[in-house]
Structure 1
Amino acid sequence: MKKVILSCVFLLNMTMAFAQKFIWDKHEFEAVNTKVAIVNMDGIQVLKVERDLIAFPFDEKNIDTSTDGPTYVKLTNVAMENGTIEVKMLSRIMENSPFPAARGFIGVAYRVNQENKNFDAIYLRPSNGRADDQLRRNHTIQYFSYPGNTFSRLRKEATGLYETYADIGLNEWIDVRIEFQDEKAVLYINNQKSPSFIVTKMLGTSKTGSIALWVEIGTVGYFKDLKVTKK
């Protein structure tokens, strides 16, 4: 019986990895530069997402041009200017990661245009949250906009304005809520009353678009309980 169950799960993973569009939790998604599977975790069906390194190659010697890009699963038929995104996410660093400095990068993109050429995003680096190095802790949460405003550019030019600390870790469910309105975005973590992160002026050029669940290099990301509310 165990062999049969494992075979079915493997077949599902292979099918989802090569699908352009799929249904999860009553929503239709499009996989963009990612490998996707619906898996059982503690008796619940969750979405598993990894970056597809064939569709979107990674060059460790050229970080700026090969990270912070469209590597996500995107909701189809959604156009949203302002609103709220709520989702639970868990990340792990994959075995034999192609990037030794992987931090479990996982987050949410929004105002994603139809061609996947413009969007804003906020993501987490869970392994930084409880590091012994304070500088690493300061880089636990990150905002960026695509294209152009990568984490490395903002770190150099904005002196910490677009990243901050949070008490989070790998291999644990993190409750995330992002509220975005006009130029401002606010992030709440684990149902705290006060925001963990405030972006006063977003830099993206897309004023409306879809929502996407985002991962980066070396990450195995899991998502559940997605809720999107237009404002």
Structure 2
Amino acid sequence: MRIVIIAAAILFNIAAANSQTKEFENYSVTPNLVKIEIQEIQGESALKVVKNSNVKKVDEPTFAKVSDLNFKNGTIEVKVLSRLLPSAPEFARGFIGLAYRINEDNTKYESIYIRPTNGRANDQIRRNHSIQYYAYPGYKFDKLRETAPEKYESYADMELDKWITLKVVLQNNIQKLFIDGAEQPSIYIDSPEGIEPISGSIGLWVEVGTEGFFKDLKVTINN
């Protein structure tokens, strides 16, 4: 009897997880520590992603994960728009971006994200922190800022509540982010020592205080 109950519970959990999967453009996406829904914004359909309020740590796997991808090298392009939630803490910056090379159980990946409120801040230090790279789990923003200041952050002009095109180009340890069709990257990353690129999925990532929207996702694999 107990085995039957456990089996039923497992099947129920699988069904519940699958029921959360959304069809987004040409992809299927599943929430991980976030809530997702398809919503119209500025007259167009987009994927809305909001971090779960019970996730207190930052730079965590808070993303909508794309199903059935084996991505290591190539290009990810997407348009993002972020707003601050009414409940956003003072330190919220509209964090939004991409996670990539996500392993099966979401315990390892890399990420580049932006902080739109910093793009036009009246503080040069904040402006210099408009773009952030990190590698999960051992190289979050605070560790990188302490051990290699300025190396994994950069500036670019950006604002809240406006569509921003992010294009991440990956070739093994070299990662470049191009914003709004610029010819030159806004940040050029050589992964920290010890980070080996792996094949995995990609995620549409947000952080605390962000109401994030994604559209026009394009993935080109060049493994």
Tell me if structure 2 keeps the 8 A contact 1:111–1:120: yes
C-alpha separation between the residues in 1 aligned to 2:196 and 2:58?
19
Q: Assess if the C-alpha contact under 8 Å between 2:172 and 2:197 holds in 1.
A: no
**Structure 2: 5+ residue runs without aligned partners?**
1-16
Alignment partner of 2:119 out of 129, 135, 138: 129
Deviates more, 1:196-205 or 1:161-170: 196-205
Conserved in 2, the CA contact under 8 Å of 1:184 and 1:202?
no
- Cα distance between partner residues in 1 of 2:48 and 2:107: 24
Contact 2:173/2:197 (8 A) holds in 1: no
What are the residue-to-residue correspondences of 1:65-104 with 2, within 5 Å?
66-97=57-88, 99-104=89-94
* Inter-CA distance 20–194: structure 2 relative to 1 (3 Å threshold): same
Give the TM-score normalised by the residue count of structure 1: 0.86
How far apart, CA to CA, are the structure 2 residues paired with 1:205 and 1:118? 11
User: Which amino acid in 2 is paired with 1:43?
Assistant: G
Q: Give, in angstroms, the shift of residue 96 of structure 1.
A: 2.2
Moved over 4 A (4+): none
Match of 1:144 in 2: 134
Q: Deviations over 1:28-54 (max 9, x none)?
A: 111100011111112211111000123
User: Following TM superposition, by how much is the alpha carbon of 1:206 offset from its aligned partner in structure 2, in angstroms?
Assistant: 5.1
Superposition deviation, residue 200 in structure 1: 1.9
Partner of 2:143, secondary structure, is: helix
Aligned partner of 1:113 in structure 2 is 103
The equivalent residue for 1:25 is 25
User: Given that residues 129 and 166 in structure 1 are in contact (C-alpha distance below 8 angstroms), is that contact kept between their aligned partners in structure 2?
Assistant: yes
RMSD over aligned Cα atoms: 1.7
Alignment partner of 2:219 out of 207, 216, 228: 228
1:84–1:180 Cα contact (<8 Å) kept: yes
